[in-house]
Amino acid sequence: MTTTTNRIRSICPHTKQVLREFDCADQAGVNQVVASAARRFQTSRLDLNARLRLISKLRTLIADNADEIAQLISSEVGKPLSECYSCEIAGVLDTCVWLNSNARRLLAPERIGLANPLALLKKCYVHHEPLGVIGVISPWNFPFSIPMTTVLQAVAAGNTVVLKPSEKSTLVGLKIAELFLQAGFPEGTVNVLVGDGQTGKFLSEHPQLSRLILTGSVRAGQRIVEQTARNLTPVTLELGGKDAAIVLPDAPVKYTARGLVWGAFTNAGQACASVERVYIVDGANTRALIDEIVKQTKQLRVGAPASLADLETGTPNDVGPIIDEAQLNKIAAQVEDARRNGASVLCGGRVLSDLPGYFYAPTVLTGVNHGMAVMREETFGPVIAIMVVQSVVEALRLANDSDFGLTASVWSASVRDAQKLAPHLQVGTVYVNDCIFSHAAPELPWGGVKHSGIGRSHSHIGLMDMVNIKNINLDTARGAGRLWWYPYGAGHAKLFQGGIQAMHGSSLSARVRGAVQMVTHFFKK
């Protein structure tokens, strides 16, 4: 592949060691890879049954190599092994199962009945045909699960894929391409572009893409929309979040605290669906809940993720590193801004400079308000900010007072009471007494509103993004033409005027008069 002089480095965030360096693909390199994917799509597509058989083989391959994959993810992005298995690999395997159980039904031609009796002699079908080359630009925070679930849906639908992984998780991206080849997918079906933002730009501007799917920041999404506009390439964008939790006064203290602490600090808070804002409706348990959140946060072990060998000899850490120094500095700046403007730091609030990598202490803030960056901008780090409010109405107003709308959660002893709030939350997913988990469930759609993105991934809705939905109409009439064809005779308009009243008139007498008029003018048309 032809390359520019640009180079990227894969860096282990808990040691700061360089794992490997890569040349970035330039325009010519991107053209070469996209052309390979286009040739594969145009010349030798596998049928659906063959694709699903290979997805089954891929499932087995991933399961057999789960330890190696988990260790690679952990090494490159610093995720604890437990999260590599549960949040990265498990959902991908479930997606393989879901596609094998549902893709034949969802992608089969569908017969559509028409309501108008004038169309009784028509047979209408909806076909689901692959689009072509799907571009995927994926992030580093879930470097295996996010691209794999998207690529699996694209390939199941019959497309070929060009994947540009984040420059911070190149090794995992290359592993994905390797797994598809090992499973038996023909060369050119899943292709990986190594590179930086400029490489991603070359891909998004490529005229042969049939769709581009990005998971990334709002800024990245805005750039992608500009870059794809010239070719009118359709996009699906899953962008940032500033996810809110509303805690009702009856919420069980320990359970709720445990859920919020996990939702805030899993993956070191580096998830678009992390719980970043908590609105506690004031009640008898308010102080106890805050104290319990602080207690559980202080108990979290922060440090380098354990290796597979370490798991046999000791207790692994709960919270790993921040991905790089720039992100670490952003987190620290938000917390310092909040502290400077009156927030209280109940625990954490500092860079853990005694550790060799990029670590930030899990942090609980109170006394925050919506004038602070920590309540308005995505933090993407181990920080949970708590506001005590006086009513559910105020909690809903503040939860919706955001440019983002990815997920939200409601916590209560009464599932019914919590569920009543769901229609009022301006997000793509509402959880009751849980958070984040549904991204790993292939049956459920994923995406948001406002600045959190455009479109949906996963589920049957995401699968439909991967196909051209083609309407095919068959007319079985013989002899006479259709009533709406030329020539427009003297009674043509009267025939249809009567037909409208016969089918849709507001009373029985109006429908009868319409039918008489329709029959009367049928031979005058």
**Residue 492 is encoded by which pair of tokens?**
């043509």
**Side chain identity, residue 209:** L
Inter-residue contact 100 to 444 (CB < 8 Å) = no
Burial class (CB in 10 A: 0-12, 13-18, 19+), 99: buried
Distance from chain centroid for Cα 462 = 9
> Closest Cα partner for 131 from 463, 472, 383?
463
Q: How far apart are CA 60 and CA 93, in angstroms?
A: 9
Q: How far apart are CA 358 and CA 374, in angstroms?
A: 20
Identify whether 276 is a catalytic site residue.
Answer: no
Please state the three-class secondary structure of 128-172 as a single string.
EEECCEEEEECCCCCCCHHHHHHHHHHHHCCCEEEEECCCCCHHH
**Residue 179 is encoded by which pair of tokens?**
């797994």
Inter-residue contact 8 to 179 (CB < 8 Å) = no
Inter-residue contact 498 to 524 (CB < 8 Å) = no
**Residue 410 is encoded by which pair of tokens?**
């409601």
> Closest Cα partner for 246 from 363, 462, 411?
411
Q: Which of 83, 167, 205, 238 is catalytic?
A: 238
Task: Using alpha carbons, list the distances in angstroms from residue 214 to 200, 222, 238, 416.
Answer: 10, 11, 6, 36
475 by DSSP, 3-state: which? strand
515 by DSSP, 3-state: which? helix
Q: Which of 24, 84, 87, 272 is catalytic?
A: 272
Burial class (CB in 10 A: 0-12, 13-18, 19+), 18: exposed
Instruction: Give the residue numbers annotated as catalytic, written as ranges.
Output: 238, 272
